[in-house]
Structures are given as structure tokens and as C-alpha cells.
Chains A and B, each alone.
Chain A
Amino acid sequence: MKQFAERMGTLGLIACGIILVVVLGALLAPIIAPYDPTIGSVTQRYQGMSAEHWFGTDQAGRDIFSRLVWGARSSLTGPLIVVVITAIFGTTIALTAVWFGGFVDSALSRVLDLLFAFPNLLLAMLAIAVFGPSLTTAALALAVAYIPYSARVVRSMAMRERNLPYIRSPELQGIPGAVITVRHLLPNVAPLIVTGATINFGFAMIELAALSFLGLGVQPPEADWGLMVSNGQQSLLNGYPAESVLAGLSIVITVAAVGYVGERLGGRAAAGRKA
């Protein structure tokens, strides 16, 4: 614990605190949020800050604070889906390629090259064109777009370990490849997977928010930060900045916090490797 605090530094601990607040907000949204995020009242439009509505209301008269708190849910689950799927498939593909080598490796590389040819957002938009807009489609498509990056990093690291004695000797003893890979290779690339996941989380959060902003991700009237920025665009230009600005800042702060913690963790992963 103390070691962790030392590794993080003051800024890192603040970042951890921010992440904790956001996660708690998302988990406890029904308790924390004073209003239903999707229901507003026409008589309550464009309210300023008050004791009743901490951050005021939007153009549909919905409580902005409640929408921010509920918005944390979709804004966090989306990237989480992306990161988990990317890590699982990226690692599996990479380790399979490394273990079998030869034809399997080059065939998998070709497939990844093909995915590399598509910019992430384009791939997501193609999937949305086919399956219709939703958070799930957007998240799954982004995960597919991220897999080659994660697979490439894990592959090159696992490749270096592949021929080391601690992998070679159990292989010669006839222990099955899957067992060796999971028991020996996986723990060695694990720190890399964790760092990669934190980096991907930030990118996924921004790109999913962008898709929601374009009307292709989370659908109204659900609360989502990206959607709120887009929803508040007109109000912002008309002099009611609260919705867009607060939602945008939520994204910026969360992404920056996750990025900073990831960077610190990455430093530890790298240091751990050298030792």
C-alpha cells in the first residue's frame, strides 16, 4: 500500500481519488442522483444553479447533476467492455501466434494487418451502419479495432520470451503448449496487458463519447457524457454552457486521471521487468 502510494506520487493519488469518485458515482447513481435523468419538465428548462438543481437543468428541464451521475455509468461501461474484450482477444491471438509460430503466426499477422488498415472510428462507423447505432455495437467495433494494437505489443514481448529456457525446458518435457503458455508466458506479459488496458481505456472513452456525440453511440434520452456535450451544444451557443461544459470536463478529467495512473503503473511494469 505504502509502495503503491510512493509509486503514484501526489498527483497520482489525486488521480486515483478522481477515478474512485467517478466509479462510486456510477455504481451508486440511483442513490446519489436526486432526479430521474431522462425525465424533465418544460416549466423547469434552463434553470441556473440552485439548491434544488445543483448544476441547473438542460433545455428539456432535466437535472444536469443527475444526468452527469447517471452518465458516468454508460461512459465507464463502454470503455470497460472495449478494454476487456481487447485484452482477452488481443492476448489470445498474440500468444497463439507466438506458440505455434510459422504459418499460424503469419496468417494471424495478415488478419491483423487488414484490421490495421481501418482507422478505429471508421471501423466503428461501418459496424454501426450495418447493425444500427447503440453503445454495444460501438463498443464491440472499437474493441475489434483495438485488438491488433494490443496483439502486436503482446506478441513482440512474448516472442522474446518464447525461446528462453524456462519456456523451452517444460516444452521438451512434453508439457502441453496451452499449459506452458498460461502458466509461464501469460504471467510474464501480464503487466504489459494491464498497462495497455489503461491506455486503451482513455482512448475508448474519448472515441465512444465521440460516437455518441455523432448520434451513433448511446441513444437519447439515456444519459451519457458524450451525448450531453452534443445535447448541450445549442444551449452553449445560446449562453447556457453548464451541460456541455460539465459533461466535457467530466470526460477530460476522467481520461487524464486514468492516463496518469496508467503511466505510473507502466513505469512500474517496466521497472519490474528490468529487475
Chain B
Amino acid sequence: MTFILRRLAALIGVLIASSFLVFAAMYAAPGSPENFLVQGRTVSPDVLAAIRAQYSLDDPFLVRFWNWLINVLQGDFGRSLANQQDVGDLLAGRLPTTLMLVSLAAIIIVVLGVGLGILAGTKGGIVDKVVLLGSNLGFAIPTFFAALILMSIFSVGLGWFPVFGSGDGFFDRIWHLSLPALALALPSSAVVARITRTSIREERDSEHSVMARARGVAEGLVMRRHVIRNSMLPVSTIVGVHIAGLIAGSFVVEYAFTLDGIGTLLVNAVQRKDFAVVQAIAIVLVAAFGVINLLVDLLYASIDPRVKVQQTR
């Protein structure tokens, strides 16, 4: 319990520090925000002053950071510099697509990565060779390239899946997002499959597995209870790391499939230097990244009794 609290406190500290970092970076960026707002038009000094006042651009840096932080904590992310929309609303509208995409990809990583890894680790022979080769190549395939190839084969060529868009309604969304999720999950699945396989190989010859066999426990049970179960300990951390990594990977895939998720929003905001949006997304993503990593550690502590003891001491 104290372990959880300590980790939460650390996460909050990191979040505050990283918001400061992001805010400071945007503040120090070359080119002033009001120039961006007037977009090259010549305006009178009065208008400029009004704009500066509207966005509190004349306040000292720390005051602006403080106000921004307080607002963010109250759920107010400010307004987009590009189109005046409320950033919070903008984010909320984009969230479902990204969430769905990342969740589907996470499921694919677990099913495909862990599944193939177990298959290769337990079966050996030709299955093993194929999985090993596939994972060697798989991790080298950039998500955007996988996206393009999948799209051209299954959407354009065979017409099984829609080419663009995120769909509406639950099942329509899944249908629209399954190819993007597959592209997103492919490299991670390759890595996870490899690590699972190695882990299974190691556990298969571990003393407790061998002794379980020596005690007359049936091979299938030894596999399930000793080999697969224990090899999942290191695998679960790797899976967690990769699922957290999907957050950043999703930008690219969303952009490739022109999905209306957070990633596309971020890419567009970066291209247009819409700092209000960039800041907000950065903070939300850092928070999500931190929370997933924390959850993974907690999960690990709950499945491995040895970890719990070390941490609570």
C-alpha cells in the first residue's frame, strides 16, 4: 500500500516537472504567439495589445505557468490558437478513436505476440523457425509502412476493410480500426513473441519444472503451471512497456490512415505551431504513459510474490 502511494507521489512529481518543462519550451520557442495569432496580417498596436491581454501574454512566466497549471487541474486546457476551439473539447472528441486503437493493438500484442511466442517455445521445429524468422523481420517493419501495405492489400485490393476514417458505433469502429491496430501492433508483437519464446525455453529446463516432471506431474500440467506461467513474469513487463509505447506509435498510424485521433491532432498542431494544443496533448500523453507504466508495475507485483516483499520492506 505504501508502495502504491509512493509510486503515485513520484508520478505526480514527474507530471508537474514535465508540464513545467513543456510549458517552458513553448514559452522559449522562437517567434511570438501573437504573430501566430495575427497570421502575418498587419494590425494596429492597439489590437496587438488587446490580443496580448486576452491571452495574458504580458504576465511573468511563472505566473502564466501557475495559471495554466491551475486551469489544467480544473480541466481547462485553454483555447486552440489556430481556431479558438476549446482544447479540452477538441481532445475529448478525439479520445475515443485513439483509446480504441491502442486497446485493439494491445489485445493484438497479447494474443499474437504472446500466443506465437508460446507456440514457438513449446512446439519447436518448423513452427519455431518460422516464428523466429517472422519476429526478426517483424520488429524492423515501421508501423507506417505496415499501414500502407495492409491498406493497399486489404482495403484497396480486396476491399475487405475501409480505407480511411474511424467509423461510428462500436462495431463499425472496430471494423475501421482493425487494420490500423494490426499495423500498430506488428513490431511490438514481433519483439514480444521473441521474448516469450526465449523465456519459455529457459523455464522449460528450470529446476522446478524438471523436478515437477520427476515427481510424476503430467507434461501438459508442467507446461501450464510451471513453464508457461513462470515465463509470463518477464513477458508481462515487456508487454507493459510495449503497450505504453503504443501511445506514441499511434500518432503515426493515425496519420497514415487519416483517423481522427489524438495523434493526428498532435501532428497537425505541431505542423501549425498551435502551442496550446501541443502542450495539452503532451501533458495528457505523459500522464497516460506514466499511469500505464505504474499499472504494469503494480500488476507485476501482484503476480510475483517475491516482488511484493522486496517493495514493501
Contact = CB atoms under 8 A, between A and B. Distances in A.
A103 interface: no
Given A214-B255, A259-B136, A119 B248 contact: yes
Interface in A104-140: 113-114, 117-122, 125-131, 133
Interface in B24-77: 25-26, 28-30
A236 B251 CA distance: 21
B4 interface: no
Contacts of B15: 117
Q: Which of A113, A251, A252, A259 has the most CB of B within 10 A?
A: A252
B148 A119 contact: no
A230 B269 CA distance: 19
B285 A122 contact: yes
Nearest to B287: A117
Interface residues of B, number: 50
A71 interface: no
B99 interface: no
A252 B140 contact: yes
B181 interface: no
Given A129-B26, A237-B156, A214 B142 contact: no
Given A114-B17, A248-B142, A237 B286 contact: no
A97 to B, nearest CB: 19
Interface in B216-265: 244-245, 247-249, 251-252, 255-256
Given A129-B26, A130-B26, A226-B142, A213 B256 contact: yes
Given A119-B244, A226-B142, A229-B144, 12 more contacts: A125-B251, A125-B266, A202-B140, A210-B142, A210-B252, A213-B142, A213-B256, A214-B267, A229-B142, A248-B141, A252-B140, A252-B145
Interface of A: 113-114, 117-122, 125-131, 133, 202, 206, 209-210, 213-216, 226, 229-230, 233, 236-237, 241, 244-245, 248, 251-253, 255-256, 259-260
16 contacts: A113-B14, A114-B17, A119-B285, A121-B252, A122-B248, A125-B270, A129-B278, A202-B140, A206-B140, A209-B144, A216-B271, A233-B148, A241-B152, A244-B145, A248-B148, A259-B136
Interface of B: 10, 14-15, 17-18, 21-22, 25-26, 28-30, 136-137, 139-145, 148-149, 151-152, 156, 163, 187, 244-245, 247-249, 251-252, 255-256, 266-267, 269-271, 273, 275, 278, 282, 285-286, 289-290
